[in-house]
Homo-oligomer: A and B are copies of this chain.
Amino acid sequence: MRYSSGHKLETKEKLLQSSAVSAKKSGFSTVGVDGLMKAIGLSGGAFYSHFSSKDELFATIVERELRQSLERLGAEQDREKLERCLKLYLSMSHVEHPETGCALPALGAEIARSDMKIRLQAEHWICRLQESWADILHSDSLAWAILSQCIGALVVARMLATPDTQRRVLKSSYDEIGRQIAGPVA
């Protein structure tokens, strides 16, 4: 073969990374295969050496993004570390840069419209994160509620027009989560 054996893997890796950025920034359905390939310096036709369809790319992106994001978020081991983690999640930087942030607020609606295979992947990783937080907080219910609240706060803040209001949304969720966590000590 004219290309080294590692080349295909490298290219696929670049494509996945770049496509995830584009999808989170502009929405997966709105970006075209041609644009995704141009973004890594290749032509559109080369795409199908790596994925059999655009849908297969989406499935792979979702699986990778959720594993990465949620493993990182779920790695915290106590309340203090979890709170520091949530501070970053609920930050203006995260609001302003969906392309490098969590896939759930950015792609949630598109995942919801996907087929069962993708939603099972999503459920798998989301449940793992919830379990991790439930261990720390000693409450299943609180873990689910905080998880929903974080994602919702990002979705809401990103819809707004003025940074001032965006900051208010983020700070409110952060503060109220702080009260909830401080409340029911096990």
**A161 lies within 8 A of B27 (CB):** no
Contact partner of A148 among B29, B112, B173, CB < 8 A? B173
Q: Which of A141, A151, A156 has the most CB of B within 10 A?
A: A156
Known A27-B29, A160-B123; contact A141-B111, beta-carbon cutoff 8 A: no
User: Is A43 an interface position by the 8 A CB rule?
Assistant: no
A168 vs B156: C-alpha distance in the bound complex, in angstroms?
22
**A155 lies within 8 A of B109 (CB):** yes
What is the interface of chain A mostly: helix, strand, loop, or mixed? helix
Contact partner of A122 among B116, B120, B142, B160, CB < 8 A? B160
Closest B residue by C-beta to A120 = B161
Copies of the polypeptide in the assembly: 2
Number of interface residues of A (CB under 8 A): 54
* B-chain residues with CB within 8 Å of residue A155 when the two chains form the complex: 104-105, 108-109, 112, 148, 151-152, 155
**Min CB–CB distance A129 → chain B (angstroms):** 11
**B161 lies within 8 A of A145 (CB):** no
With A111-B159, A122-B160, A145-B175 already in contact, 10 other A-B pairs whose C-beta atoms are closer than 8 Å: A26-B113, A105-B155, A122-B159, A122-B161, A123-B161, A140-B168, A143-B172, A144-B168, A147-B156, A152-B153
A-B CB contact pairs (8 Å), 19 listed: A27-B113, A105-B155, A106-B109, A108-B109, A109-B109, A112-B155, A127-B165, A141-B171, A144-B168, A144-B173, A145-B175, A148-B153, A148-B156, A148-B172, A150-B152, A151-B155, A152-B153, A180-B180, A183-B183
